[in-house]
Amino acid sequence: MTDGQRLFAGRYLVGDVIGRGGMANVYRGEDTKLGRTVAIKVLKPQLASDPAFRTRFRQEAQAASRMAHPTIVRVYDAGEEMVTRADGDVVTEPFIVMEYVEGRLLKDMIAEGPLGSKQATDIADGILTALEYSHRAGVVHRDIKPGNVMITPDDKVKVMDFGIARAVSDSSSTVAQTTAILGTASYFSPEQAKGETVDARTDLYSTGVVLFEMLTGRTPFRGETAVSVAYQHVSETPVRPSSVNPDVSPALDEVVLRALGKGRFDRYQTAQEFMEELELAAAGHLPKRRVVDDEATAIFGVAPTPGEQTAHALRQLTSDDTVTRTQRRPPVVWIWAGVLVVAVVMVAVVWWVLSLAPSAEIPAASREVPDLSDTTWESAQETLVGLDLVPTRLDEASSDIEEGHVIRTDPPATTTVAPEDTIRVYVSTGAEQVTVPDLSGLDQGGATAALEEAGLELGSITDQNSPSIGPGIVMGASPASGTDVDTGTTVDLVLSNGKVTITDVTGQTMSVARQLLEDADIGLTVDPIADPTCPAEPGEIITAQSLAPGEVDQKSTIELTYCTGSSDDGPDGGDGGGTDGGDENPEG
């Protein structure tokens, strides 16, 4: 069976391939139920062999589907399809159904050369806008890179693949497997490279890498292997973008270098903060916070540490020709010594990650974050304070958790932390409110799509007579259009059946019959039919109607028959009576 003949979930018709990646292929598709074009991302079968991945994949796709923002590619549906290969093997193919977006991938634009500063900052602003929305919703992307950013023909930014990176990284058994699936380490944050937990600041680091690449046409760190690039993210200082592209302003240099801070607190803390300084830099103003210049540090005679010497030796092995060597001709023994040290460290880190098991006992100097889900904020606050932890409240809409109750914590439950660490507690503000859209004039398919777009669900459908609204068109909704309701609320529809109900008008006068049938609530056209075979009666009494009483098609024409014949003056008339009178009284 060809790609063009495949049907996923009984409704998604798979068409031509429109993109290929390291872990998935993307197809143009059609939602046969709603009649709209979609993009279908089909993940590689090797991912589907891991049950943990399939579970995480579904959960993350559901979380991504709740995000609706102009800068984020919508996720409509997700599932798994059993596919029989040509060799007879049956494999499971996880898939995501997404909004179809016309445009170009940012990575294809960068491949043509560096972007202008104005275009680069505008695109970065769009990415940060999407991240600000997702971070407020509690979703960290984890895989911001040019291959996950679309630019529409009207230069709008669309970020895709929210949640997929988490599904992959949480389910992959080794660091090497995760790296292979994600395809590149060029956009890793230092904490990702070290296998640590990630947060919103991870996405901001990756955005800084993307901004560097847009301005220069290359990533800040390059190497022959993913491990060498990951190591540079952890230990190397990036060069200024202006050293690669002289057209980059000093202000943009400062913004990029701050975004690429090694420590989480060295970078921007929120997408909003990043956007504000990016806007200042785009206007030619230096941000208030300045990044320390490496050359200025060298002037004051700060000697490099042994680790920095090793890092310099590693830089000489990469393809990055912009890195300054520490010696003119470094001894080969030092190069190989550096490589050996890094190899030993990486093997030790991988072994530690694989062998790491939760300790049965928590050290006295540490605390374990308790499970506070669905408890009240007051109770959670009291519990954390009792553990010498610092709770901070973050409000978030939730249709599943009661208002004022805890949705989750960051770090999550069972995480080991130090005393006085800050624990972010996400508290439900209740279900998010949305407005029922205007559905008038739409058919059932269009109304269903509009409801899904607004985060609502289609409820019952009833038919109702209408003299003017066409069959199958929405006449009304409950709750009514314009009403504010909770996300996920069911909306019932009333559709026109294209019928009206008429009564029996025989025996009525023509004027009364017309008034009944041509009324705005009925809307029929009356065609009077004269019948000369029967005697006329005052008021043109209806003797027959062409449409039987009951439901008839709206805007129909009905024939009403009435008598127009003359009266019959036969033997029983007045003349006959006169003759009889003459016989009785001939002399009269």
Binding residues for ATP: 41
* Residues 414, 362 contacting (CB under 8 angstroms): no
Nearest one of 58, 390, 124, 466 to 274, comparing CA atoms:
124
455 vs 297: CA distance, rounded Å: 54
Q: Which two tokens stand for residue 53?
A: 């991945």
Question: Which residues lie closer than 8 Å to 29 by C-beta, 6 or more apart?
Answer: 8, 12, 13, 14, 15, 37, 38, 39, 40, 97, 100
Q: Which two tokens stand for residue 85?
A: 């290969």
Q: CA of 228: how far to CAs of 168, 222, 231, 313, in Å?
A: 21, 8, 5, 12
127 vs 119: CA distance, rounded Å: 13
Is residue 143 part of the annotated active site? The answer reads yes
* Residues 29, 13 contacting (CB under 8 angstroms): yes
Nearest one of 449, 482, 447, 440 to 461, comparing CA atoms:
447
Marked catalytic residue, from 77, 143, 203, 410: 143
Distance linking the first and last C-alpha atoms of the chain: 111
197 vs 316: CA distance, rounded Å: 30
Q: Vertex 257, ends 347 and 264: CA angle to 5°?
A: 55
| Residues tagged active-site | 143
